[in-house]
Amino acid sequence: SQKIEQNSEALNIQEGKTATLTCNYTNYSPAYLQWYRQDPGRGPVFLLLIRENEKEKRKERLKVTFDTTLKQSLFHITASQPADSATYLCALDRTNTGGFKTIFGAGTRLFVKA
């Protein structure tokens, strides 16, 4: 069956350190992978998209890698801040005839301590 797996345990790190979150998938061949941030009680907000032919993408303190052989994406936040505390979701495209569908992982909760 198709699965998107993110670490269900919360990640606790100290301010200033690099946070690394993992997204693994099985039985998908996505053309791209995305990362979203979700704060409690709010809708997810898009952060980054990386395509299958890209190994790495950066945006300010964020970095995403995409390994289609390992079927894995890593999401890094460098110089983390307490304001980075949130749940981070990875998402894959699952394009089908007649429509587009994006499937989300359950997310990993990140806590950054001051």
Partner 1 sequence: SQTIHQWPATLVQPVGSPLSLECTVEGTSNPNLYWYRQAAGRGLQLLFYSVGIGQISSEVPQNLSASRPQDRQFILSSKKLLLSDSGFYLCAWSVQADTIYFGEGSWLTVV
Residues binding partner 1 (CB under 8 A): 31-32, 34, 36, 41-46, 49, 89, 91, 93, 95, 98-107
What is the DSSP secondary-structure string of 92-107? EE--BTTB--EEE---
Q: Output the smallest distance, CB 90 to partner 1, in A.
A: 10
- Residue 43 vs 114, nearer CB to partner 1: 43
Closer of 41 and 83 to partner 1 (Cβ): 41
Pick 1 or 114: Cβ nearer partner 1:
1
Of 11, 20, 22, give the one whose Cα is nearest residue 86: 11
